[in-house]
Amino acid sequence: MKKLLLIGRSGCGKTTLTQALRGEKVHYQKTQGMVFEDFLIDSPGEYAENHDLGCALALYSYEADVVALLIAANDDYSLFPPCITCLVNREVIGIVTKSDQADPCRAERWLRLSGCKTVFHVDSLSGKGVQEVLNHLNQQKTNKNTEK
Ligand SMILES: Nc1nc2c(ncn2[C@@H]2O[C@H](COP(=O)(O)OP(=O)(O)O)[C@@H](O)[C@H]2O)c(=O)[nH]1
Ligand SMILES: [Mg+2]
């Protein structure tokens, strides 16, 4: 399975999604630093919220096969500028988290504006959409040149 780096603001649901992707029971855990576990690299939201730490995220992308930009459906704004995905030389996917909340379509539009060609919608609490992300990571391994 390909390694996934998760990037997004604090509280958008990165750590909860890592638990759902691993099939663990979901529980709140503050992310204090970069966390490398199995096929997942979790980042503290502060990295995406601070310009200097944001540059470090671009370097961490080298540790991953796929980078995910996350926006929660109920976020009021996007942290990610338009066309930012070209800053890394990895596939960048978008993930709308908390898809059980309003407004997932707006979050998807922001992710597409930032350059994400593939966007998933997940609700980590119910597990909805989680398998699709896992399938994508598995598919990438056998089918390297089929970026959508
Ligand atoms: N309703 C809903 N809440 C979620 C979902 N994912 C995460 N949360 C909640 O959002 C809060 C922050 O989640 P967390 O994973 O710690 O965010 P992080 O800072 O991006 O790692 C927690 O209280 C989670 O229970 C989701 O899919 N739906
Ligand atoms: Mg976290």
The 3-class secondary structure across 85-141, one letter per residue, is HHHCCCEEEEEEECCCCCCHHHHHHHHHHCCCCCEEECECCCCECHHHHHHHHHHHH
The mean predicted confidence, pLDDT, of the chain is 94
Ligand 1 atom with least separation from CA of 26: 25
Contact, 125 vs 148, CB < 8 A? no
Ligand 1 atom with least separation from CA of 70: 20
Q: Which ligand is nearest to the CA of 10?
A: 1
Distance (Å) from CA 43 to ligand 2 centroid: 7
144 has pLDDT over 80: no
- Domain boundaries, given as residue ranges, for the chain: 4-142
Q: Which CATH class is domain 4-142?
A: alpha beta
* pLDDT score, position 142: 54
To the nearest whole percent, how much of the chain has pLDDT over 70? 94
* pLDDT score, position 148: 47
Quick: pLDDT tens for 77-121: 999 999 999 999 999 999 999 999 999 999 999 999 999 999 999
